[in-house]
Amino acid sequence: MLDEREFQQVTSLRGEGVRLKDAFVPVLEEYERITGLKETNPNAIYHHRLSLYGDPCRSCGKPLRTPKAKLCGGCMQPVS
Protein backbone atom coordinates (compact mmCIF):
# COMPACT_ATOMS: atom_id res chain seq x y z
CA MET A 1 0.00 0.00 0.00
CA LEU A 2 1.13 3.50 -0.79
CA ASP A 3 0.69 6.54 1.43
CA GLU A 4 -0.23 9.83 -0.27
CA ARG A 5 3.36 10.99 -0.77
CA GLU A 6 4.38 7.67 -2.32
CA PHE A 7 1.25 7.55 -4.47
CA GLN A 8 1.97 11.03 -5.88
CA GLN A 9 5.60 10.06 -6.48
CA VAL A 10 4.59 6.95 -8.43
CA THR A 11 1.73 8.44 -10.46
CA SER A 12 3.68 11.59 -11.34
CA LEU A 13 5.82 9.42 -13.64
CA ARG A 14 2.85 8.48 -15.83
CA GLY A 15 3.50 9.41 -19.43
CA GLU A 16 7.28 9.57 -19.02
CA GLY A 17 7.75 6.70 -21.49
CA VAL A 18 8.89 7.43 -25.04
CA ARG A 19 5.93 5.73 -26.74
CA LEU A 20 2.33 5.40 -25.62
CA LYS A 21 2.90 1.68 -25.09
CA ASP A 22 5.70 2.51 -22.62
CA ALA A 23 3.87 5.30 -20.77
CA PHE A 24 3.40 3.22 -17.61
CA VAL A 25 6.83 1.55 -17.48
CA PRO A 26 8.32 4.26 -15.20
CA VAL A 27 5.23 4.02 -12.95
CA LEU A 28 5.60 0.26 -12.57
CA GLU A 29 9.35 0.55 -11.94
CA GLU A 30 8.90 3.20 -9.25
CA TYR A 31 6.14 1.16 -7.59
CA GLU A 32 8.47 -1.85 -7.47
CA ARG A 33 11.31 0.28 -6.09
CA ILE A 34 9.15 1.60 -3.26
CA THR A 35 7.25 -1.56 -2.33
CA GLY A 36 9.58 -4.33 -3.48
CA LEU A 37 6.65 -5.94 -5.32
CA LYS A 38 6.61 -6.37 -9.08
CA GLU A 39 3.27 -5.27 -10.54
CA THR A 40 2.44 -5.82 -14.21
CA ASN A 41 -0.92 -4.04 -14.34
CA PRO A 42 -0.60 -0.26 -13.93
CA ASN A 43 -4.31 0.03 -13.10
CA ALA A 44 -3.81 -2.11 -10.00
CA ILE A 45 -1.56 0.57 -8.51
CA TYR A 46 -4.53 2.93 -8.25
CA HIS A 47 -6.14 0.48 -5.80
CA HIS A 48 -3.02 0.35 -3.61
CA ARG A 49 -3.61 3.80 -2.09
CA LEU A 50 -4.05 3.85 1.69
CA SER A 51 -6.44 6.80 1.68
CA LEU A 52 -9.04 4.70 -0.16
CA TYR A 53 -9.40 2.40 2.86
CA GLY A 54 -10.37 2.89 6.46
CA ASP A 55 -8.58 2.11 9.70
CA PRO A 56 -7.90 -1.49 10.65
CA CYS A 57 -10.89 -3.35 12.10
CA ARG A 58 -10.68 -3.62 15.89
CA SER A 59 -11.87 -7.21 15.72
CA CYS A 60 -9.94 -8.84 12.84
CA GLY A 61 -7.32 -6.22 11.93
CA LYS A 62 -8.15 -6.05 8.22
CA PRO A 63 -8.50 -2.56 6.71
CA LEU A 64 -12.06 -1.33 6.45
CA ARG A 65 -13.28 -1.02 2.86
CA THR A 66 -13.76 2.76 3.09
CA PRO A 67 -12.90 5.46 5.61
CA LYS A 68 -16.65 5.76 6.38
CA ALA A 69 -17.38 2.02 6.73
CA LYS A 70 -19.97 1.04 9.31
CA LEU A 71 -19.34 -2.70 8.99
CA CYS A 72 -16.13 -4.68 8.48
CA GLY A 73 -16.21 -6.56 5.18
CA GLY A 74 -13.86 -9.22 6.57
CA CYS A 75 -15.53 -10.28 9.80
CA MET A 76 -18.90 -8.42 9.57
CA GLN A 77 -18.37 -6.72 12.92
CA PRO A 78 -20.06 -3.32 13.25
CA VAL A 79 -17.60 -0.43 13.46
CA SER A 80 -18.10 1.69 16.54
- pLDDT tens track, the chain, 80 positions: 899 999 999 999 887 655 666 778 889 999 999 999 999 998 899 999 999 999 999 999 999 999 999 999 999 999 98
Residue 30 lies in a domain: yes
Residue 10 lies in a domain: yes
Residue 61 lies in a domain: no
Count: domains in the chain: 1
Residue 73 lies in a domain: no
Residue 34 lies in a domain: yes
Q: How far is CA 14 from CA 8, 31, 40, 42, 74, in A?
A: 10, 12, 14, 10, 33
- Output the pLDDT for position 23: 78
- Output the pLDDT for position 16: 64
Residue 35 lies in a domain: yes
Domain that holds residue 12: 4-52
The predicted model scores a pTM of 0.74
